[in-house]
Chains A and B, each alone.
Chain A
Amino acid sequence: MDKIVVNKLDLFYGDQQALNNIGIAMKERSVTALIGPSGCGKSTFLRTLNRMQDLIPSVKIMGQVKIDGQDIYAAGTDVVLLRKKVGMVFQNPNPFPKSVFENVAYGPRIHGETDKKKLSEIVETSLKDAALWNEVKDRLHESALGLSGGQQQRLCIARLLAVGPEILLMDEPTSALDPISTMKIEELISELKDKYTIIIVTHNMHQASRVSDRTAFFLSGDLIEEDVTSVLFTRPAKKKTEDYISGRFG
């Protein structure tokens, strides 16, 4: 079943068009990779899916983004509920300057959970799901800023899982990390896709082929091609895609 359907999506920064007529659908419990050269609009597109991009004052968005059949840009959309459902992991790990526990408990708390026992359970489950529990279970009340970069990124994933999302948006989640941490996050993504619909931006084509089911190639605001990952990388339909994946530019 299609979890996300995007139709004729245009996005402008002021007069500058950053996304042209994007149309794409993403299946439930699948991993879609977004690839393309820097500045082609991958992050912009990703951030239209949880309406983070329309926080920027000059942004104009046209077209449709449907999640579970609901147009998220329709008037009366509850952005809080949307962002609970569509969570995001950022390029640079950005834990709050709080303890490990408080980072994970943050989401449930703002959504009204006050029961201490419940919160502890959520924190434990989320940290386990983010494959971080064993490394932090003895330092839950120490500052999250003391963790390594890779641990911080998994903490951010745990923090996200704690609010019970259905879709995970990841914007180059490993680009600031070392190879071992990258591998751990990639393993984590393969586990998470049993439960979540995942969209991951990556500039690393090997990563795209390792973790994703389908891949979408963006170029200067256009969605050039979208296909099953192995097909896109071995038999691309478009010349531009072929040029990009064979390393002729970008």
Chain B
Amino acid sequence: MKAHQADRFATIMLWIGSLAIVAILIAFLTLILGRGLPHLTSEFFNGPDGVRGQLFNSFYILFLSLVLSLPVGLGAGIYMAEYAPKNKFTDLIRLSTESLASVPSIVFGLFGMIVFVNMFGLGFTILGGSATLALLNLPILVRVTEESLRAVPRSYREASLALGATMWQTLRKVILPTALPGLITGITLVAGRALGETAILIFTAGMNVSRIPFDVNPLAAGETLAVHLFAVKSNPLPGTNADQIADGTAALLIIMVIVFNICLTLPSRWLQRRQLGRNKV
């Protein structure tokens, strides 16, 4: 009887917890989108104070930072999960990645400023911002990759190797496809951080927008939407609708993140389904 009651109680608590999450999410979305969506006019993007440049910079920096961090992060994670021998040295690497993953982003920002802005003398650039973001995200990518790969059952590896597959074939055809959802989660996580990060980018990519539309010069300064939101709110320029711009920017940021997640999740679902065959259990 007691166990039964405890079970009911736990079920109800868990249910309330999940419900609370959904409620918070809905409240959050209605508030931010409700306030911001009406301002998302063509003027908002293309007008004199328009955020077209910032919107472009956000995605450009996201793209560059992924280009810089994905190969290294995935590569290192795969190495740690599949190839690295278990010894003191690899334990040390693991410990370092874990510590790096919890360093506050503003410290990375300072580091990026010292290295890219000052030592390399680049000034505030999209490249410097992207590279610093890549550094911030690298440890997380390594960890997520390693963990997703470790979650793939050993029996799959054995089955593949026993059929005469090489380690590389096993990795490509069995382990990575099986680990894909985990990897996608990891990429979504770091992408979300890249889109939302301010501290790092203020120190490295600056708060200016190129006058040229869709300027792909990586050595130009590049304010992103999140930085713009911070700038507008903390230091409103006289004579502008700072609050409206801020509300619109916040809504736009949310939409961007949602769209980005969908763009990543749907193809991965599709790939997964193709992998698994129809009627996956």
Contact = CB atoms under 8 A, between A and B. Distances in A.
A142 B278 contact: yes
Interface of A: 50, 52, 55, 57, 79-84, 87-88, 90, 92, 94-102, 106-107, 109-111, 139, 141-146, 156, 159-160, 163
Interface residues of B, number: 25
7 closest Cβ pairs, A-B complex: A99-B277, A94-B155, A83-B164, A84-B164, A88-B162, A143-B277, A146-B281
B173 interface: yes
B43 interface: no
Contact of B278 (A57, A80, A143): A143
Nearest to B279: A142
Given A90-B155, A143-B281, A98 B275 contact: yes
B269 to A, nearest CB: 14
A80 B156 CA distance: 17
B41 interface: no
Interface string B132-175: 00000000000000000000010110111111111001000110
B280 A145 contact: yes
Contacts of B165: 80, 106-107, 110
Contacts of A57: 85-86
B277 A90 contact: no
Contact of B158 (A52, A141, A146): A52
A112 B182 CA distance: 29
Contacts of B173: 106, 109-110
Nearest to A102: B277
Interface in B262-281: 275-281
Given A90-B158, A94-B155, A98-B275, A107 B164 contact: yes
A97 B160 contact: no
A179 B178 CA distance: 32
Contacts of B279: 139, 142-143, 146
Contacts of B275: 97-98, 102
A214 to B, nearest CB: 24
B174 A96 contact: yes
B277 to A, nearest CB: 3
A233 B7 CA distance: 52
Nearest to B280: A143
B270 to A, nearest CB: 15
B65 to A, nearest CB: 32
A115 to B, nearest CB: 18
A55 B278 contact: no
30 contacts: A52-B158, A52-B161, A80-B165, A81-B164, A83-B161, A87-B163, A88-B162, A92-B155, A94-B153, A96-B160, A97-B156, A97-B178, A98-B276, A99-B276, A99-B278, A106-B163, A106-B173, A107-B164, A110-B160, A110-B165, A110-B166, A110-B169, A139-B279, A141-B277, A141-B278, A143-B276, A143-B278, A144-B277, A146-B280, A159-B163
